[in-house]
Amino acid sequence: MRNLIFASLVSVFSFTATLAIAAGPSSKLDTVDIDLTDKASLQRGAHTFMNYCLSCHSASLMRYNRMAKDLGLTEAQVLQNLMFTTDKVGDTMQIAMRAEDAKRWFGVAPPDLSVIARARGTDWLYTYLRTFYLDDSRPMGTNNLAFQDVGMPHILWEQQGYTSLNDSGQLHLTSEGQLTPRQYDAMSRDLVNFLAYISEPSKLQRLALGKWVLLYLAFFFVIAYALKKAYWKDVH
């Protein structure tokens, strides 16, 4: 029995240790403070996603009408401003590009982004979006600090401009974009907020409901305990 307990403790410990290692060099990542209750930010993020990402990346676990409801938009608004690949609001977010074509163009097919925020974490995404830099050795002419030798080009170059890596491994802006660095950070944050939202659309409901479930369990514990005492009163 003791061995069994020891073995399970060891396995739990080594599992958490593996998780920590799998998370990678988190100290190098920039941190982002997202807010899933900020609907204006989510709407801006959705706008960026539909305009700049959905051409290559699908989000096939997410439906347009669900997004409309959660983001406080009407279906007509979504249809007019955010839907470019289909005209049915009940559809999931698909792309027209075929996987084999994508593979030919980029070397690898762009992955579905439905749950990318859970797979990579929001800090990683925030860092990734902001650390594309010029690199002549790459087929697209750019590389990325968070994703070495990435197959994706720097999609938001018009907004951010281009950065280069100096000898001490830091990025500096070599050609300015339409946005200031602060504005580009804000744009990236909104986009990451949106990616976090689609990776678990029910998160806010889950947290809200969770409190009531815990309260109910606490309340029920008292009743169950009183009942147990009453039943066992005469047994000694």
Residue ranges binding ligand HEC (CB under 6 A): 52-53, 55-57, 106, 108, 110-111, 113, 116, 120, 125, 128, 150-153, 155-156, 191
Q: What's the Cα-to-Cα distance from 220 to each of 60, 194, 209, 231, rounded to whole Å?
A: 40, 38, 16, 16
b/e code 18-39 from CB counts within 10 Å (16+ = b): eeeeeeeeeeebeebebebeee
Provide the token pair at 194: 């949106």
* Residue 169 to residue 126: CA distance in whole angstroms: 18
Determine contact, residues 156/52, Cβ cutoff 8 Å: yes
Taking only Cα atoms into account, the Rg of the chain, rounded to an integer number of angstroms, comes to 24
Q: Which are the contacts of 47, defined by CB distance < 8 A and separation ≥ 6?
A: 81, 82
55 or 81: CB nearest ligand HEC: 55
Q: What's the Cα-to-Cα distance from 95 to each of 43, 78, 103, 108, 224, rounded to whole Å?
A: 20, 17, 14, 16, 53
Asked whether the CA dihedral 147, 177, 52, 26 is positive or negative, the reply is positive
Determine contact, residues 45/194, Cβ cutoff 8 Å: yes
